[in-house]
Structure 1
């Protein structure tokens, strides 16, 4: 019979899968592109918002700079795409920035990238699901008070689907991505046509007046204005999240894998750049206004906006402007956006557990993260990611803007270190390559990666300078904690491996001189007699029974029973003036060890096998504490002798009947 917890697990997760169901499919480019690019495409749902609301701190006039900020983000995006295409050529087996950094810069750099990626994946889920909750509120405004709950529920759904391994095949995941691309393309093309014909309406938020932050009364003039533009750029750089997806999954492409992955990256870059440019241009043309704090920054007819005002995201406002709110195209754009954001979260649930399993195999994380669960998924990694994302959502109240401040740091740390690793890769191979055409190709790749390194390093500095006080320090702290933890786990595993390695001294070490058996007794009952029988069957050199005198009356009855049943084993009473059971036993064992250091001591402990979970709480607790303490005593083995109670027999019979 299944236990209660096993039954719940079976309902939620499903029946286990056999190992032979684990296989990897090769995907054609038309399937691989939407599957591995959902995270990158989804950033168009929040990156333009972050640019606009950051610039809005300096007033309406500053928002007009948004197309230029978007253009700068697009330039960085295309350079990073070109750099990743070189990485695919260098490492056609996949592996991503972690593998590149570890191979070319050493384990410390690899651990740095790994910590950045893991923090980034947790934030990907938190940001994507929180943004999806925003778009659901745009569809159903009555849900505004449940936005945090919706986001946490979204994480829970992703956890369950990934634990079940039932998130659908590549085709099922490709369809929503293509629907989203078609919806955004239709929105941008229709909006552009309306701009050209002069029929584009103003966005619903265009009638609001934006109150500049007191620190930016002069607009974008001076150092403060320049820093605000850089801050808007660093916020918009969230559009680069997920672009590494195809390059990290090269083995999943159909042959030729490397060229197919490289061409997919090119399509990803062009489509992402076009969508970002189209959305920012239309938002500027329709005068979309989004701010960080609507109650304090927006005025309507000279008065603050109503307390119940709901600020919808940019894509939602554009859909209502171009197609009109409540129309079928409006619902299609908003629903497709919410769905692509959930797929972006799913992409992190695919990538994080795999990276964690690789790190566990390399010794940087606990080994449990490298094992697959009942449904052939890395269950422990999925649960860890879901828990981390849910905690962030609760702490930041599903506020996308607050979460994005943490988001981009890890992305550009991995970008920068990965690009530097590729520079080292090409430089090393150039020293041993003679063929001129091959050298020219490597030099070109190195030049592109050098440009990518310089640009991503510069963006990383901008991100750290402009976002540090707004939350980037939290991401850096999390990365530092992860880095230190991983290095500590690695040192521990290495030390244990060295300590347990077999050498000549171990192979030639003599066997124990004698085996001394010790039977722990509390009452003379059937479990004790069975443990005694097992101890005698092992034919030890000597066998003693011991009882701790915690209750003198109980000890007296036990000794009387020992004599009455004529048990042919001497029994020793251990004094315990402070009613402690464990310390007298440990002192007795240590005395035996000091008298005969080469003897092996085997301690036999009778234990009950129970059928109900609550019965475990009222049995075996003292035995558990004794075993735990004895495990730290060298030269001592513990033998647990089970005695099945009636409840365990009933449970076993029920299982056999099933």
Structure 2
């Protein structure tokens, strides 16, 4: 009774000699391994703004500069992991590098951090995706937890069908998000150059915070930088999954990683600058904002930005919000693919339980 539903959900088991058929081309590897680092653009700028809001309106104007430092760091990390793809083609990422160069203890610290990071990635990405979804459909906000659980169940089922199948299904949301956001940025900057500057719905609201000085200013800027570094989450997944690429594996993985880095850096810089131009004001608590109308519901940065560029409840607005929700939910797919590969390497090195070999039963007697 259980076998039929299982086959319908996850498909038929594959033989080991069929695994070559599941190797990923670059066009599918990008959504499989890079949906997480690409999707961070939906909330990285928002995290910077939430911290800078503590210092008042003048601090919020520093958002593009904080984002620029984060983008520079992302570029360095991308180039580093690109070298890792060539130097360690068997996968493993930071674990393999630290094991070969720094020893067992350092490698286990890196592996433990990555495993925890993969688990948290699923939680943060799905929660952020649902937050963007309810920004477009506020009536569903009371059901946020149920929506999150349903998304995680859906991710689990899709990944049980295999990496290649999940990559095919996830390609549309990933590429849809890229196209919709770059179109939004292009239209927004074009309108700005023509004198029709987009204005966010929160631009007229003030802050209750006071501008910090001295050590407090430095700590605030460092905290904003640390919050923006959520953009580095998932960058290592490509170097972990080099064995799943089509030959030449290392070259294809390095090319995919470089493309991901370029797209992510361009998007973060664009959202940060255009968000500052549009005057987006957002805070952890509505008590930090002044001049709010009755019943005001705070929306995400991308929701406010797409509304300012395309118009509220316009097709462009719903396209950005829909693809943002989809890629944030599917960003957990990076963890679903990176976690098993890293766990298998740890098991091979006897740091995690390993499946015992099958017991061979020999027939006795004649024949």
TM-score by length of 2: 0.90
Q: 1:310/1:11 Cα in 2 relative to 1: closer, same or farther (>3 Å)? A: farther
Deviation at 1:147, TM superposition (A): 1.5
Q: 1:167/1:246 Cα in 2 relative to 1: closer, same or farther (>3 Å)? A: closer
RMSD: 2.3
Whether contact under 8 Å (1:202, 1:286) holds in the other structure is yes
Whether contact under 8 Å (2:32, 2:333) holds in the other structure is no
* 2:226 matches 1:234: yes
Q: Distance in 1 between matches of 2:354 and 2:284?
A: 43
Q: 1:358/1:91 Cα in 2 relative to 1: closer, same or farther (>3 Å)? A: closer
* Structure 2 match to 1:309: 296
* 2:346 matches 1:359: yes
- Give the number of equivalent residue pairs: 356
Deviation at 1:43, TM superposition (A): 0.3
Residue deviations 1:242-272, cap 9 Å, x none? Answer: 2222222222333333233222222222111
Q: 1:248/1:15 Cα in 2 relative to 1: closer, same or farther (>3 Å)? A: closer
Q: 1:279/1:228 Cα in 2 relative to 1: closer, same or farther (>3 Å)? A: same
Residue deviations 1:338-377, cap 9 Å, x none? Answer: 1111221122112112322332332222336x99xxxxxx
Deviation at 1:107, TM superposition (A): 1.7
Q: Distance in 1 between matches of 2:248 and 2:86?
A: 11
Q: 1:251/1:188 Cα in 2 relative to 1: closer, same or farther (>3 Å)? A: same
Deviation at 1:15, TM superposition (A): 6.3
Structure 2 unaligned spans of 5+:
358-367
* 2:288 matches 1:297: yes
Residue 316 of structure 2: which of 329, 343, 351 is its match?
329
In proportion to residue count, which structure has more strand? 1
Residue 19 of structure 1: which of 15, 19, 41 is its match?
15
Q: How does 1:436-447 map to 2 (within 5 A)?
A: none
Q: 1:8/1:150 Cα in 2 relative to 1: closer, same or farther (>3 Å)? A: farther
Q: How does 1:54-453 map to 2 (within 5 A)?
A: 54-165=51-162, 168-212=165-209, 217=210, 219-294=211-286, 296-300=287-291, 306=294, 308-367=295-354
Residue deviations 1:281-306, cap 9 Å, x none? Answer: 01100001110111x11122xxx654
Structure 1 unaligned spans of 5+:
372-658
Q: Distance in 1 between matches of 2:90 and 2:164?
A: 25
Q: 1:362/1:248 Cα in 2 relative to 1: closer, same or farther (>3 Å)? A: same
Residue deviations 1:450-502, cap 9 Å, x none? Answer: xxxxxxxxxxxxxxxxxxxxxxxxxxxxxxxxxxxxxxxxxxxxxxxxxxxxx
Whether contact under 8 Å (2:163, 2:337) holds in the other structure is no
* Structure 2 match to 1:42: 39
Deviation at 1:33, TM superposition (A): 2.7
Q: Distance in 2 between matches of 1:259 and 1:164?
A: 27
**SS of alignment partner, residue 226 of structure 1:** helix
Whether contact under 8 Å (1:69, 1:232) holds in the other structure is yes
Whether contact under 8 Å (1:298, 1:305) holds in the other structure is no
Residue deviations 1:54-73, cap 9 Å, x none? Answer: 00001111100111100100
Q: Distance in 2 between matches of 1:155 and 1:87?
A: 30
Q: Distance in 2 between matches of 1:79 and 1:62?
A: 26
* Structure 1 match to 2:361: none
Q: Distance in 2 between matches of 1:14 and 1:119?
A: 26
Whether contact under 8 Å (2:53, 2:282) holds in the other structure is yes
Q: 1:269/1:20 Cα in 2 relative to 1: closer, same or farther (>3 Å)? A: closer
Q: Distance in 2 between matches of 1:87 and 1:166?
A: 22
Residue deviations 1:366-410, cap 9 Å, x none? Answer: 336x99xxxxxxxxxxxxxxxxxxxxxxxxxxxxxxxxxxxxxxx
Deviation at 1:151, TM superposition (A): 1.4
Q: Distance in 2 between matches of 1:361 and 1:226?
A: 45
Whether contact under 8 Å (2:35, 2:330) holds in the other structure is yes
Q: Distance in 1 between matches of 2:31 and 2:3?
A: 36
Q: Distance in 1 between matches of 2:190 and 2:153?
A: 41
Q: Distance in 1 between matches of 2:172 and 2:11?
A: 28
Whether contact under 8 Å (2:155, 2:330) holds in the other structure is no
Q: How does 1:477-556 map to 2 (within 5 A)?
A: none
- Higher RCO structure (Cα 8 Å, ≥6 apart): 2
**SS of alignment partner, residue 242 of structure 1:** coil
**SS of alignment partner, residue 290 of structure 2:** strand
Q: 1:262/1:164 Cα in 2 relative to 1: closer, same or farther (>3 Å)? A: closer
Q: 1:114/1:255 Cα in 2 relative to 1: closer, same or farther (>3 Å)? A: same
Residue deviations 1:200-255, cap 9 Å, x none? Answer: 2310111211111xxxx2x1421111100110000001111122222222223333
Q: Distance in 2 between matches of 1:12 and 1:206?
A: 50
